[in-house]
Structure 1
Amino acid sequence: MKKFLYIVTTVVLTLVISLAGFSWYSGTGIRVTDGRYLGYSKSTDEWLFIEYQNKLVKHDGPYVFVDSNKPLALRVASTEQSINSVTKLPVHGELLVTVDNKSQTQFKVPLRHSYPRSKLNYSTTENVLAISDLEGNFDATVNLLVANGVINDSLDWSFGKGHLVLIGDMVDRGTNVVPTLWLLYKLEAEAKKAGGRLHYVLGNHERYLLDGRTKSVAKKYFGTYRATSMTQRQLWSDETVLGRWLRSKPVVLKINDILYVHGGISPEVLSKKPTLEFIDNLAKDSFVTTGTIIKNIEGDILHSSKGLLFYRGLAKDMSHYGLGKKATESHVERLLKVYDAKKIAIGHTLTKHIGFDFNEKVIRVDVNHAEGESEALLIENHSIFRVGLKGQKLPLIQIESSESS
């Protein structure tokens, strides 16, 4: 009887809220916080009561779980004979990754056992290439890196002693989040061996991924969660290799005289004058699996709307959202003085081409990779360029204020 009343109540509640016209509906149902579904899913033609939609998964994984140093690789795949089948097999030192793209690209990844935290301040005379917001787009990642000599056609590091900087949001939206991260994981080790470096600065979507927030994930991942009976949070916990690896990454980095941060540094954060080390200690404790992080923690240096992961004031006026006006020139000058830098490079806020703002003190790096407009920032012999899919060196543009409106 209780089960019957629960079902009836759920259906009535779903229909009532649906009729109210809330924007977070799909079909005649809603998705709850971790992406499970309440109501009728039109796309999969099924009634669901707190369950994930049965989306087709051609390839997903491997999610590698570490149990007493004996890694197990979990994969989800579909064939004509088997839909969303799950395998979990031991990994013996090296991992085979299959990409969910037309060519079903494959590559091998040697596993590592420790992930020390990154240095926060680097000095180099080598080239630096910076990219942001690739969002799980494996092909765009490869095309841009190959075009600019960072990797070769075999997906191996070819940038020598150069530095590759990823300014956050490598995850979400795209259908190849896992292969993209495995590629970056592999390149990090290869770069270090060659005398170079791969730097990964976390963004707000890495926060979402590790916390289990599914608002922006590609729909195929709901099929993975359903097939594995695991939530996103479980698949990216600190019991997984990629979960541990991501949690070792910083949220701000300085190379020579340029700061790299995903969102930006707001006046509210700057007033506290946090050192790079202080910020990194916060990050170390902020991406743990236990507990839930609220999106906008009032005044939080990382997670509030004006924190390093979310702040947009270096790119646009956010006053119509109640999040403050665009930053002033004097604020930018102060923050660069505090961190003894000449420029700050940010992602997070989309622009058509990589360009300058604030008299060339702020560099905007987030472009629309999904639409084939990939660009990266190149620092070479103290000169700064934007480079595209043909490897051409182009001057940075002055970003118009209307582009940030």
Structure 2
Amino acid sequence: MSSLSIRALAIGLLLTSGLLAACTSTAKDVFKGVDRIVAAGDLHGDYDQYIKVLTTNGLVDEQLRWQGGKTHFVQLGDVVDRGPDSLRIIRHLMKLEKEAKKKGGRVHVLIGNHEAMNIQGDLRYVHPGEYSALISEGSDVLRDRYLEAVYKHQVSIDPTLAANPGPVMEGLKKKFPLGYVEHRSLWEPGQEIAKWVASHNAVIRINDSLFVHGGLSPHVEPQKLSKINRRVRSEISVRFDGEGLSNSQDGPLWYRGLASNEAEVELAPLLEMLKFYDVNRIFIAHTPTNGAILTRLDGTVIMIDVGISAHYGSSLANIVIEDGTLQVMHRGSQVPFPGDGLSIQAYLEMVSALEPLDSRLKKYVHSMDDQLAQEKEKMPQRAVN
């Protein structure tokens, strides 16, 4: 049975419950004169790490209420998947958005590829705990109704299945765990969480910087941010199975060229693109680093997906821009960003010293040190006169 047919059944079940609604929205995507920005990468269902980001940057009080004043907090997408607490994070972000706005601040939750995947029914990376968190007293009955509809559909395609329904139903139970139908009742286009996601942007500009989950390809003609955001929101607000910005490898949710292409390929067109948007740099997530925020392409690209979630090793770092000065909050300590006399190697040594002994970053920096030492040994020695 195709995933499209199964999805159609899920939508039919939700429609009979009167749960689907239309979703249209607009969102401001350019902000100027912001004194303090805090930006963090992928969270992937790790609530505890998410809270650490908020508390170490002074954004919430002991009751987890907004205390960041006029700070703009940017979460660059991929709140969901790979961890069990995505919905818990989303519920808190919903609350925090309202609280921050009342205090003159903002919470910007950008759309990531995993949010789009959940809305469009690609559930390969949904953590089992996400389904478990949605189980209630009525889950058994709700799932039985759904399984019965799926079973009848399969039998209509292959009548021989009716001769031995037991194994078929057992297979369906494994494929659609308790909580699955509730998950779809939140994430189908027009549903509560899908609608909330689609009320946000894929890319925003704050002061002299762009923020986006995957990246903006400099190899395609640049478009106004408002046009990009409208297209992405439009695509994830309905059932969308075609090729578009929300699922293209060159689109803002998926593009990895800024994180991986060589400067010979990427830098010149990137500089032209930044000029078009009248910004100096672009912050991206999506592509995990070895545990530290990194810069590339002459400082025009800053990679901030350090692998915050347990799935990627529980690293902890985010960007802080205060009065135009770019710094890194690394495991609760604010350190200068490389540049202006601070080399990448010195920066990595500095943040590595803040890491636990078994961290990915510490191992990475040690391997870099070993490599440099080996290269030094291979260098010809100058004769001493």
TM-score by length of 2: 0.68
Residue number in structure 1 paired with 2:355: none
Alignment of 1:57-96 (within 5 A): none
**In 2: Cα distance, 1:327 partner to 1:152 partner:** 46
Residue number among 312, 315, 321 corresponding to 2:259 in the alignment? 315
User: How far 1:229 moved relative to its partner?
Assistant: 5.9
Residue number in structure 2 paired with 1:253: 204
Q: Which runs of 5+ in 1 are unaligned?
A: 1-9, 11-31, 37-64, 70-113, 319-324
Residue number among 249, 260, 284 corresponding to 1:346 in the alignment? 284
Match status 1:265 vs 2:216:
yes
User: How far 1:362 moved relative to its partner?
Assistant: 0.6
Residue number in structure 1 paired with 2:39: 130
Match status 1:194 vs 2:84:
no
Structure in which a larger fraction of residues adopt strand: 1
- Distance change (3 Å), C-alpha of 1:190 and 1:116: farther
Match status 1:288 vs 2:288:
no
Q: Is the 8 A contact 1:345 1:363 kept in 2?
A: yes
User: How far 1:345 moved relative to its partner?
Assistant: 0.4
Summarize deviations over 1:37-69 as a string: whole Å, max 9, x none: xxxxxxxxxxxxxxxxxxxxxxxxxxxx99699
Amino acid at match of 1:354: I
Q: Is the 8 A contact 2:218 2:266 kept in 1?
A: no
Corresponding pairs, count: 288
Amino acid at match of 1:356: T
Summarize deviations over 1:68-115 as a string: whole Å, max 9, x none: 99xxxxxxxxxxxxxxxxxxxxxxxxxxxxxxxxxxxxxxxxxxxx99
Residue number in structure 1 paired with 2:271: 333
User: How far 1:239 moved relative to its partner?
Assistant: 4.8
Residue number in structure 2 paired with 1:276: 225
- Distance change (3 Å), C-alpha of 1:171 and 1:66: farther
Q: CA RMSD in A?
A: 3.1
Residue number in structure 1 paired with 2:300: 361
Partner SS, residue 209 of structure 1: helix
**In 1: Cα distance, 2:48 partner to 2:265 partner:** 35
Q: Is the 8 A contact 1:214 1:232 kept in 2?
A: no
User: How far 1:233 moved relative to its partner?
Assistant: 3.5
User: How far 1:244 moved relative to its partner?
Assistant: 1.5
Of all paired residues, the percent bearing the same amino acid is 29
Q: Is the 8 A contact 1:213 1:232 kept in 2?
A: no
Residue number in structure 2 paired with 1:218: 127
Residue number in structure 1 paired with 2:248: 304
Q: Is the 8 A contact 1:264 1:311 kept in 2?
A: yes
- Distance change (3 Å), C-alpha of 1:287 and 1:243: same
The higher-RCO structure (CA 8 Å, 6+ apart) is 2
Q: Is the 8 A contact 1:348 1:366 kept in 2?
A: yes
Partner SS, residue 356 of structure 1: strand
**In 1: Cα distance, 2:85 partner to 2:245 partner:** 30
Partner SS, residue 130 of structure 1: strand
Match status 1:204 vs 2:113:
yes
Residue number among 45, 48, 51 corresponding to 1:139 in the alignment? 48
Q: Is the 8 A contact 1:314 1:326 kept in 2?
A: no
Residue number among 16, 22, 30 corresponding to 1:121 in the alignment? 30
- Distance change (3 Å), C-alpha of 1:229 and 1:275: closer
**In 2: Cα distance, 1:185 partner to 1:138 partner:** 14
- Distance change (3 Å), C-alpha of 1:359 and 1:66: farther
